[in-house]
Structure 1
Amino acid sequence: MDINECIVFMNIAEKLKCNTRHSWTSSGRHESVAEHSWRMGLMAMAVADEFSELDMNKVIKMCLIHDLGEAITGDIPTFYKTATDEVVELDAIDQLLSTVSGSFKDTLKALFEEMDELKTPEARLYKCIDKCEVVLQHNEAALDTWIELEYELNQTHGQKECEEFAYMKRLREKLKLDTLAKLNELSAQ
């Protein structure tokens, strides 16, 4: 990759450190998009032994890049995202891809297409990890950072996506139990 091209791409990607998400950290600050993507990649590494039949390097790459478009658009929580927002995000990815060339561009384009289509088990696992990481982060944050709809959403978010994978289905169920325990704290007050 051309050095200048690399620097331009990394300058754009750096915005993921600056763009915050709807989620809060356990220390009481907004989480950045970069932190979410990093922890998804770490989660994929942590569960890799459970998926020896899959290309987990590809899953990790998907986790790391899945929100790159948000370097341009910023984050829009899933429950607020519209069809128009989806188009804007796709345009942002195209804009980002226009800054790189060669095999790196080809790799990114192929990964984004695979993630969008969700036809491969790797793409579906990445999506499941994405949903689980969001629930995990909410469970770690204080309840006063949740909005009302998240009391129910945190119990159901990602269940459908995790059905295909026995391990992830069990992980998602544990996250639901953790959510219920957290909500019990609220009702005990």
Structure 2
Amino acid sequence: MPRQESHNPPGAGTLTAMSEMNGPHGAAGDRRRLFDFIALTARLREIERANNATAERKESVAEHSWHLAMVSWILHAEFEREAGQRLDLTKMLKLCLMHDLVEMDAVERGAAGGEPPRFASLPAPLGAELLALWREYEEGRTPEACLVRGVDRLNPTLMRCLTGQGWGDMATDSHAPVDAEALDGLHLPRVAVSETLRALYEEIRNASVEGGLLPP
């Protein structure tokens, strides 16, 4: 007999009961807000992106954020060598993990954009840190933020190449299919922040053209 999939993940009722028991005030209220936020972050696994994770399914926002963190960690030494300075790896990993948290509110409100309203309701200093990191990422005000933004552009290009998805589902502003030149216009401004990122992007783009996934 097939197993019935529950709408709520296992343990969701336990988290809800714990948060209700803790009440709205003081340390207990802080725990309740943290429990609620932790449960909400789990929903990033349910939000699909435009690019594939495999030939059979789309990539989730959670998978995307995790892979950004892995790539940033792997390339961190190269980034430092290029920059000629120390780069805060912990900050980079945090930026990777939180940069798409706005998607949680987009799911509930049916629209994206604007500062994540949930950050302000979180206990200090977490709420303030998340909001500061989100602003830093959006504005690209530090070397770490610029590099993570570059990795963020590299990731979907890599996944579309690895999965054989190509760019047939995308179109330019003029509704023409995306070709190599259009892709460069989209991604080069961000990946050019690093020689390593640019070289990886160009290698992926060229492989996609040679494999017939991307028109030249």
Classify the TM-score, shorter chain.
0.7 to 0.9
RMSD over aligned CA atoms reads 2.4
Structure with bigger gyration radius: 2
* Matching residue of 1:36: 64
CA contact (8 A) 1:138 1:146 kept: no
Using the size of structure 2 for normalisation, the TM-score is 0.71
- 1:10-159 to structure 2, matched below 5 A, reads 10-52=38-80, 53-74=86-107, 88-91=112-115, 93=116, 95-143=117-165, 146-149=168-171, 151-152=178-179, 153-154=182-183, 156-159=185-188
Distance 1:25-1:145 versus aligned 2 partners, 3 A rule: farther
Distance in structure 1 (CA, Å) of the matches to 2:158 and 2:184: 11
1:182 shift after superposition = 2.7
Say which structure, 1 or 2, has more relative contact order (CA 8 Å, 6+ apart).
1
SS of 2:51's partner is: strand
Using the size of structure 1 for normalisation, the TM-score is 0.81
Distance in structure 2 (CA, Å) of the matches to 1:57 and 1:39: 15
* Matching residue of 1:166: 195
Distance in structure 1 (CA, Å) of the matches to 2:121 and 2:149: 26
Which residue identity is paired with 1:161?
R
CA contact (8 A) 1:135 1:157 kept: no
* Matching residue of 1:6: 34
1:136 shift after superposition = 0.6
Distance 1:51-1:184 versus aligned 2 partners, 3 A rule: closer
Q: Percent sequence identity over matched residues?
A: 23
1:72 shift after superposition = 1.9
Summarize deviations over 1:30-69 as a string: whole Å, max 9, x none. 1111111111011111111112321122111111110001
Higher helix share: 1
The runs of 5 or more residues in structure 2 that have no matched partner are 1-26, 81-85, 172-176
Distance 1:155-1:163 versus aligned 2 partners, 3 A rule: closer
Which residue identity is paired with 2:193?
E
1:148 shift after superposition = 4.6
Give the ranges of 4+ consecutive aligned residues of structure 1 lying more than 4 Å apart after TM superposition. 153-156, 184-187
SS of 1:54's partner is: coil
* Range with greater deviation from structure 2 (142-151 or 129-138): 142-151
